[in-house]
Every structure is written in structure tokens, then in C-alpha cells.
Amino acid sequence: MGSVLLVDDDQGLRAMLSFSLKGSGFSVYEAETTIDAIALLKEQVVEVVVLDLGMPPNEHAATEGLKLLDWISEEMLSTKVIVLTGQSADETSYASIKYGAFDFLTKPVEFGVLKQSIDRALLFLKQSLKLKEQEGVQKIELDLEMAKGVKAARNAAELKLLKQVLSDTEFNIHEVARRLGLKRENVYYLINKYGIERS
């Protein structure tokens, strides 16, 4: 059905959501901290992350959760993040959207509402993959400061597309060059230009 990572320092809530999601056919992984989540995401393909913002060392602020959200948006380009938090929606929804959240839910949440959000995220991923495979169209999302101009926008788009194709091909340079219509030398140049390292 789909893979979900629950990132929350509340073990009881994680256990309850994990039980319900597994009962609905999802593969479920759990992480208690940002460090645990990043380690798991580097080893395991996960389609959807359900993320609490208030985590150790400062459970009463959104700092740790937003750091993880930003990292996922930059490094795990095909992963959708659903923020599920007890933090004030007025204070954290803007930041969540800014850092790339697919959806924003507040605690307590009914399981049906969370499941619908996960289902929407998986549908979006499935259709994006279909679009890429059938029409060769890669959807990328960019956050640009308009005042920085066209060159900065071009570089941001180039970097995002390159990282996505490198991820999709598991860093196969020949395949990246084929998909992007470039020579391999040009791919190596771009990798060096942006300081991209194989993870």
C-alpha cells in the first residue's frame, strides 16, 4: 500500500498510529529523534513521513522538526511530509509550508483524517511517477527569492533537477546523461559545480 515513517518523541502515539497504519496495509517505520529519522531515511526508501515538529532537545519549539523537514525537502526529493503537531497552527503552518510540507495536521487527529492525507500524498507520488515515465516530465518545486534574479532561479532549478535524476538513477552517470540529454562530462561538471556527493 505504501511506506510511512512516523517521527515523534511520543512513544505511545507512535505505537497507536503504527498499529492503525499497519492494520490498513502500510509498511511503517518509526523514529524518535531527527538523528534517528535521517539515519533511517538514508537506508530505507520511504514515501511518506508523518512528522511532529516539537522534538528533543526542545519539545516546546518547532526547531528540530523544521530542520528535519528542510533536510527531507533538499535530500529526499520524492518523499512527502505530513506535519502532525501539537504546536500552534498559526505559528507553525507557515513555516511548515515554507520548508516543504505536503500537508499540515494538528493533534489530536482522527485516524481517518491522517489516513486520507497519507493516501493523497501517495496518489500524488504515483501520478508524478506516471507523468515522468509516460511523458518524460519531472515535477520539481522551487522556493526562490525573486530579488535574486533569473540566474539564481536557473541554478536552483538545475540543482533540483540534477539531484532528482541522480536519486532516481542511483547515481548512474550514464543514465543521468541520457535522461538529461547531456554528455557525461557535463554531468560530472554539474556534480562538481554544486558539490554533490554520493550518499
Pair type for strands 80-85 and 48-51? parallel
| Cα 154 from Cα 24, distance rounded (Å) | 42
Judgement on whether residues 36 and 103 belong to the same structural domain of the protein = yes
Spatial contact of 128 and 163, defined as CB atoms under 8 Å apart: no
| Cα 103 from Cα 193, distance rounded (Å) | 33
Pair type for strands 80-85 and 103-106? parallel
Judgement on whether residues 186 and 99 belong to the same structural domain of the protein = no
Quickly tell me which residue has 511503517 as its cell: 28
Domain end (from 135, 158, 176): 135
- Predicted local distance difference test score (pLDDT) of residue 25: 97
Asked if the structure places residue 8 within a domain, the reply is yes
Categorize the per-residue pLDDT at 86 as very low, low, confident or very high, splitting at 50, 70 and 90. confident
Residue type present at position 132: K
Owning domain of residue 155: 146-194
- Predicted local distance difference test score (pLDDT) of residue 56: 85
Judgement on whether residues 7 and 100 belong to the same structural domain of the protein = yes
